[in-house]
Structure 1
Amino acid sequence: MIRMMLRPRWILALLLALAVAAGFALLGRWQLERAVASGQVVERSTETVQPLESAVQPDGPPREAATGQQVTVQGAYLPGDEQLISDRLNDGAQGFWVVSRFVTVDAANIAVARGWAADQAAAEKVIQALAAVPAEQPLTLTGRFVPSEAPVVPADGRDPRTQTTVSTAALINLWTGFTDQPVYAGYIIDSTSATGLLVIDSPEPGSDASLNWLNIFYALEWAVFAGFAVFLWYRLVRDAWEREEEQAAIDAAAAG
């Protein structure tokens, strides 16, 4: 069988099998590098306040680095565009958020979570009070930026107008006179609170990271494929050797 392996055709086949195995090994290494990269913690200074326009741009998905970033922006609230967001936790307690429409000095729109209330009636009372406030002069708002959440259909039996997420896509359909103005795909959790509400608990985002096990699984698959390429070459050589041995035995029997 060793002599069979040393024949030129099988040496060339071995070189081809090794080349294929090397390609599979490189693909496996790439998958491992992706798994390790996804598990690395990227340090971000989320607690260093940045201008909103530096952290994220309107009319587009926010960068991942902007999630949880403390930002500041100048503008004014639009009275009458307040919304009640249900089922919001604050220090473990379930309650309600009051979310207002904020227009920056650059005429871009962004939702702002003004505060939390444990009681729906108290939150609605604050909404009525905010709607009656005259339009304010430009002010400086500081808070934590959070990407827009997906809208959720209310459960059976609840008011179909109930909102449980801060969805930019849903809010712009409720804002007065909103057409095609620039809008941020996210919202700001105010670092203070409107009168009658509690400050929303908004801790610094964690820096947890975990390996991507799917990439590791793919890397193992490529390693198996690499080994199989060499095994297939061995199996083909052995089959060819066994056929020659069988034919030699037949020829010897016929000659005898």
Structure 2
Amino acid sequence: MRRPRWIGVLLVCLAIAGIFAFLGKWQLARAVEARQVGPQITETTRPLHEVLVPGKAIANNRVGQLVTVSATTVPEDYTLIQGRDNNSGSRGWWVVAHAVVSDGPDAGAHLAVARGFTASRAVAIATQHRLEASAPETLDLAGRIQPTEPPQQPQDSLDGDPPMMKDLAVAILINHWTGLGDSPRFFEAYLVATNHVPSGLKPIYAPAPIQQKSIDWLNAFYAAEWAVFAGFAVYLWYRLTRDAWEREVEDIEAASAQASDHPIDTQKVD
């Protein structure tokens, strides 16, 4: 193994193993990159009708998508959602509007819009009452679209204030909305608006979705194959040198047997 010839073969095998290892690393990266979803899709603002169809659930790779939509609010249908965390360390209330899409292919479809946050219960109730007493607003809204949450029955108010929901569930909201008509079309998702925040409220914290990655197992299998090939390149050098050594030992033993009738002690062969 220390002879120059076999050292040269070792260097060649190590170079081949390095190439195989690089290919395996590249294949493993492809196994992850091929299935990425998240910000590379969601951070391109699109019209709502290109992302979501009324009556259908939002696709996983569209959750958190930035969208725009023109809609008109229905003042009497404002709702409060309690127990919301706005990335401030304290929980508070969302003020949620019932809006009707005013133009485009989904005109007339109903959409829940989370318009703002407050940590004060009194401010939330006062804002709700003020918005309910205002005229309908036609707004060019922008924000992130989120899937509807599992429905839970709202808690009854004990002091005359409107009931407060804990989850923004469209299935519950439509039971409280007015003017839906006989066959209403509504989105099974809600919009977290980033503009047109009512006075007295703060914008709702709406970060980009966390980058998600999943494994393409076929590419991962190819990466494992390249690792095996890299190991085999080094093993091949070992096998070749050992075979050469064994042939030399056999030749020495054969020559010694011809020169002497006594068996040769192979343990003394270098």
The TM tier, using the shorter chain, reads: 0.5 to 0.7
Equivalent of residue 183 in structure 1, options 186, 192, 197: 186
Alpha-carbon distance in 2 for matches of 1:72, 1:171:
22
Partner SS state of residue 73, structure 1 = strand
Alpha-carbon distance in 2 for matches of 1:111, 1:75:
10
Alpha-carbon distance in 2 for matches of 1:167, 1:84:
12
Q: Taking structure 2 as the reference length, what is the TM-score of the superposition?
A: 0.60
C-alpha deviations, 1:221-246, integer Å up to 9, x for none? xxxxxxxxxxxxxxxxxxxxxxxxxx
Query: Residue 41 of structure 1 aligns with which residue?
Result: 36
Q: CA deviation at 1:57?
A: 0.5
Query: Residue 108 of structure 1 aligns with which residue?
Result: 109
Partner SS state of residue 75, structure 2 = coil
C-alpha deviations, 1:161-184, integer Å up to 9, x for none? 431111000000000132421100
Q: CA deviation at 1:208?
A: 2.8
Alpha-carbon distance in 2 for matches of 1:59, 1:139:
23
Query: Residue 59 of structure 2 aligns with which residue?
Result: 63
Query: Residue 204 of structure 2 aligns with which residue?
Result: 200
Alpha-carbon distance in 2 for matches of 1:111, 1:174:
12
* Bigger-Rg structure (1/2): 2
C-alpha deviations, 1:28-60, integer Å up to 9, x for none? xxxxxxxx78x9322532121100000110011
The one-letter amino acid paired with 1:141 is L
Cα 1:154/1:175, change in 2 over 3 Å: closer
C-alpha deviations, 1:159-211, integer Å up to 9, x for none? 69431111000000000132421100010001032111000000000113356
Q: Does 1:172 align with 2:167?
A: no
Alpha-carbon distance in 1 for matches of 2:136, 2:163:
26
Query: Residue 147 of structure 2 aligns with which residue?
Result: 147
The one-letter amino acid paired with 1:71 is V
Q: CA deviation at 1:80?
A: 1.1
The one-letter amino acid paired with 1:167 is A
CA-based RMSD: 2.8
Partner SS state of residue 80, structure 1 = helix
Give identity over the alignment, percent. Answer: 34
Query: Residue 131 of structure 1 aligns with which residue?
Result: 132
Conserved? CA contact 2:152–2:172, under 8 Å: no
Query: Residue 75 of structure 2 aligns with which residue?
Result: 79
Cα 1:206/1:187, change in 2 over 3 Å: same
Alpha-carbon distance in 1 for matches of 2:201, 2:184:
29
Partner SS state of residue 129, structure 2 = helix
Query: Residue 163 of structure 1 aligns with which residue?
Result: 165
Cα 1:42/1:58, change in 2 over 3 Å: same
Cα 1:210/1:66, change in 2 over 3 Å: closer
What is the number of equivalent residue pairs in this alignment?
177
C-alpha deviations, 1:70-115, integer Å up to 9, x for none? 0001121111110010000001320000000010020010000010
Alpha-carbon distance in 2 for matches of 1:148, 1:56:
12
Partner SS state of residue 42, structure 2 = coil
Alpha-carbon distance in 2 for matches of 1:210, 1:74:
35
Moved over 6 A (4+): 157-160
Alpha-carbon distance in 2 for matches of 1:199, 1:77:
18
